[in-house]
Amino acid sequence: MTKTIDFQTDPSSYRHWRLEYDGNVANLIMDVDENGGLFDGYELKLNSYDLGVDIELADIVQRMRFEHPEVGAVVMKSGKDKVFCAGANIRMLGGAAHAHKVNFCKFTNETRNTFEKAGEESGQHYIAAVKGACAGGGYELALACDKIFMTDDGSTAVSLPEVPLLAVLPGTGGLTRVTDKRKVRRDRADVFCSFEEGVKGKRAQEWRLVDAVVPNSKFDDFVESEAKSIAEKAKAGKDLKGIKLGPLDRKLHDDGSLVYSLVEVDVQRKEGIATITIKGPDQEVPASTSALHELGDQYWALRLARELDDAILHLRLNELELGVVVFKTAGEPEAVLAHEKFLMDNRQDDWLSNEILLYIKRLLKRIDVTSRSLVALVENGSCFAGFLAELLFAVDRSYMMEGDFEEDNRPVAAITLSEANFGPFPMANDLSRLETRFLGEPEMVDKAKEQAGEPLEAFDADELGLITEAYDELDWDDEVRIFLEERASFSPDAMTGMEANLRFAGPETMETRIFGRLTAWQNWIFQRPNAVGESGALQRYGTGVRGEYDMKRV
């Protein structure tokens, strides 16, 4: 699987999903094109999905929040008879490279997290209307919804059959959501996850696997009524008009570099390094929220978030040997803070200001769980201020220029904190990145907060623990070069494990369990012969012959 994967799409290009709008209710219909796989070698039968199906879903969820803020309920249903969704396509998983399988699972987790949070954050509540087989990743789609309604037709069932059938895990959060979100009893969850046929009818409701089981003759009316009721409560008294998300301004060059309007990705393939440079504001702060809405997707902060999001996804899936990602910024810190203040001041009363901030929160979380060595270089002329300073606390190491550099006329390197660094953009552990950074020294968070709004040059930033090291002109080039060379020389396997563990400090939440524990186990299991060996379950699925297992436990 070597083709370049493009994460950009739009409704005119969808092959697998349809949308029908009824006032403040949207019907999201999964009708997967069997011949529309992202790669050759498999058919997407029974509403099974691959990364291409999920790229469309991610785009839908994103557009729903920006283009249709009037929607208060989204009913996810099937466009096919007798099947809701059969989950991730087995032939795709069997033939995909390990890296693709792992990144596929991570992206699907992020997509499910996005619509799972949409009700709480944006007043868009997702409802799963389950008719027909709802298995594996299909049930995981439903689990991420706020409500699961299932028809009682004698055959419809929910199941997580990955362990008995495939020797893998329900790796897009299924195990975790069953226990942590649905609060299914542990022993019943054990039975459920070992049972190929799944659970149907009243038993599914009694076990908390679904919220309601409704006779088939009444099911459609029940779902429609519930959706309208939920939507009316969510959008009561709100007259909202969305903005259009147009295509990104993006150029992919032959050497692998990417150029957007505000983001540039420089690729040093021989060294294994990608450098992402983020540009500060290229426009004035909107004079009003009306002016913000007129700018729409061309507003600086939204444009930046979309471009950086696309760049991160591109590097994840298409540049597997670029193991070190370096973040730089260039621009005026004061301008970054002015735009941030505008959004923060209006987030309570203006849905678009709020959505842009929520998008930035999701983007930062995506960076947190990206399996590369992440480094930030605070150079002269940089604009690591406010939410852009969050990058310094998301990365594994940060280095800062100290003092004047000869023949460098840019403003001296500085970091400026704001209220954005103290809560609005929590990590998966529900703590801010500074709280996570200073788990053992919580008083340092208070000291940093006292300096909010003040440009902090290298000495002060180092004293406050905001950077890893500061170097003057004599040492800067050599020290940074030596670090990057060393980092790129380490085993990527060990780096992935080390960084992921260090990034998940602090309290455990459902989200950290999914990304920090479940994903790590799935990563390991995806390499085991019981699953992917010649006689493994994934390779033998559909042949009528069970997989052969090495019965030693580790």
Residue type, 137: G
Q: Using CA atoms, how far apart are residues 332 and 501, in angstroms rounded to an integer? A: 34
Residue holding tokens 């899936």? 317
How does pLDDT run across 402-443, given as a tens digit for each residue? 999 999 999 999 999 999 999 999 999 999 999 999 999 999
- Tokens for 288, please give them: 């009003």
Helices and strands of the chain, counted as H and E runs:
23, 22
| Confidence label for 210 from pLDDT (cuts 50, 70 and 90) | very high
Asked if residue 1 has pLDDT above 50, the reply is no
Asked if residue 554 has pLDDT above 80, the reply is no
The pLDDT, as a whole number, for residue 6 is: 96
Helix (H) or strand (E) run with residue 148 in it: strand 147-152
| Confidence label for 513 from pLDDT (cuts 50, 70 and 90) | very high
DSSP-assigned beta bridge partners for residue 456: 415
DSSP alpha helix (H) spans, 208-350: 216-234, 289-295, 300-318, 333-346
How does pLDDT run across 308-336, given as a tens digit for each residue? 999 999 999 999 999 999 999 999 999 99
| Confidence label for 2 from pLDDT (cuts 50, 70 and 90) | low
Q: Where are the beta strands (DSSP E) in 8-146?
A: 17-22, 25-30, 48-49, 73-78, 83-85, 87-88, 125-130, 133-135
- Residue 256 near residue 267, CB atoms below 8 Å: yes
Averaged over 367-388, what is the pLDDT?
Answer: 97
- Residue 223 near residue 212, CB atoms below 8 Å: no
How does pLDDT run across 172-204, given as a tens digit for each residue? 899 999 999 999 999 999 999 999 999 999 999
Asked if residue 239 has pLDDT above 90, the reply is no
DSSP-assigned beta bridge partners for residue 381: none
The pLDDT, as a whole number, for residue 171 is: 87
The pLDDT, as a whole number, for residue 236 is: 83
**What domains, with CATH codes, occur in the chain?**
12-160+199-233 (3.90.226.10), 253-498 (3.90.226.10)
Q: Extract long-range pairs of 25-28: CB within 8 Å, 24+ residues apart.
A: 25/71, 25/72, 25/73, 25/74, 25/75, 25/224, 25/227, 25/228, 25/231, 26/64, 26/68, 26/71, 26/73, 26/74, 26/75, 27/74, 27/75, 27/77, 28/60, 28/74, 28/75, 28/76, 28/77, 28/126
Query: Three-class SS string for 101-119?
Result: HHHHHHHHHHHHHHHHHHH
Give the phi and the psi of residue 2 in degrees, each rounded to 5.
-115, -5
More confident residue, 554 or 21: 21
- Residue 280 near residue 304, CB atoms below 8 Å: no
Which one-letter DSSP state was computed for residue 420? G
Asked if residue 3 has pLDDT above 90, the reply is no
- Residue 474 near residue 447, CB atoms below 8 Å: no
- Nearest CA to 181 among 157, 150, 148, 212? 148
Residue holding tokens 């020290």? 479
Radius of gyration, alpha carbons of the chain? 24
The mean pLDDT of the chain is: 96
The pTM score is 0.96
- Residue 63 near residue 115, CB atoms below 8 Å: no
- Residue 452 near residue 417, CB atoms below 8 Å: yes
